[in-house]
Amino acid sequence: IILSSPADWKHWFLTVQTKAKSEDIWDYCNPSKPTTDPTTQLNKPGWPAVPAAANATDTWTPAAQLSWKQDQEDARIKLASYSSKQEALNKLRVHIVETVATRYIPLISQSESAHDMLIALKNQVAPSDHVRRYELQTLWQRQRAFPQDSSIEQWLQDWNVLYVECKELQLPEATETRAQHDFLLSIQSKNPEFSTYWQNKIYNRTTRAKAAPTLQELVDLFRDQRRRALAIEGTVTSHSAFATTLNGVELNPPATPAATPAATPATTQASTASRLNSYKQLPKCICGDRHYYSDCPYICANKRPDGWESDPAIEAKLHNNVQN
């Protein structure tokens, strides 16, 4: 990974941090510590002085000699550890220089340690949380547009990556079940059965204070269903197309004939209200959900999407009604 723009910072920094921690030198180069912090200095341990007891025969006892030898052995271990860490710090400095874009070299040319280098790069290259929030919100709106078939696999992977980053910065896109609804709305035109079923499922579970399926679970279910459908059709999925929407230099939206317009708080609220009104207008089925009998997964097996789970209590109720 080359640090060539602020978009590369997170992954590049993680690589450097991982290398430093694996060598037990992160305390000496952590850029969150100021240069005045004494814990960032790797000091060479000294050699123990000859004890005063060695100057007299009566005091230079076997026990004193043994203690002196132990002090020397401890000093050798500390010196070996110091040399190992010093070598690791030197290698880390080389790694930083080799993985930084040419235009950033002047920022670190006068730095004498890996710690100084990382501080300089963090101050000048790392994006602020404010800027990153704006970038992530822009990317989220673009993510809501269903892509062409050639990039669907990468698009599905980007949902989870983007969600994790939004959650780290506590963005509203990653709160409650908004991410799940945005994902399901983005696939509504391609797979209305899957989307409608899981939107109703989420509504039912949340109104009953039950845990809704996670975004990761929905994405995995949709991916598996799509792959099975393609396998039946004999279509080979493409894994070679990589979108540049996350942590890349460019922030291009995925190509699509008709991109989903960016949502605003007003349109999101209106869309949610519209879905709830449509749901409430449907007839109440014997299973307790709102839909027509022809759409009930308990009655029609072909209406059961991937991940569907039967409720024994509902099955028993349905059986009793049929008997009567």
Query: Using one digit for the tens of pLDDT, what is the confidence trace for 185-242?
Result: 999 999 999 999 999 999 999 888 889 999 999 999 999 998 988 888 775 444 433 3
11 with 114, same domain? Answer: yes
241 with 323, same domain? Answer: no
Determine the pLDDT at residue 287: 78
Residue 304, domain extent: 284-324
Closest CA to 53 of 64, 66, 42, 38: 64
Question: Of the candidates 84, 102, 124, which is a domain's last residue?
Answer: 124
Angle of CA points 91, 95, 96, to nearest 5°: 120
pLDDT tens column, 108-158:
999 999 999 999 999 999 988 888 899 899 999 999 999 877 789 999 999
Total number of domains constituting the chain: 3
215 with 77, same domain? Answer: no
In the chain, % of residues over pLDDT 70: 81
Determine the pLDDT at residue 139: 93
CA distances from 227 to 194, 271, 319, 322 (A): 14, 30, 35, 37
- Read off the pLDDT band of 246 (50, 70, 90): very low
| Comparison of pLDDT for 196 and 7, the residue scoring more | 196
137 with 117, same domain? Answer: no
Within-domain flag for 222: yes
119 with 201, same domain? Answer: no
CA 185/CA 30 separation, integer angstroms: 43
CA 24/CA 37 separation, integer angstroms: 18
Question: Of the candidates 86, 108, 124, which is a domain's last residue?
Answer: 124
**In the predicted model, what is the mean pLDDT of the chain?**
82
Within-domain flag for 1: no
Determine the pLDDT at residue 88: 97
State the residue for tokens 């809501």.
Answer: 144
158 with 61, same domain? Answer: no
| Helix pair angle (192-207, 178-186), 10° resolution | 160
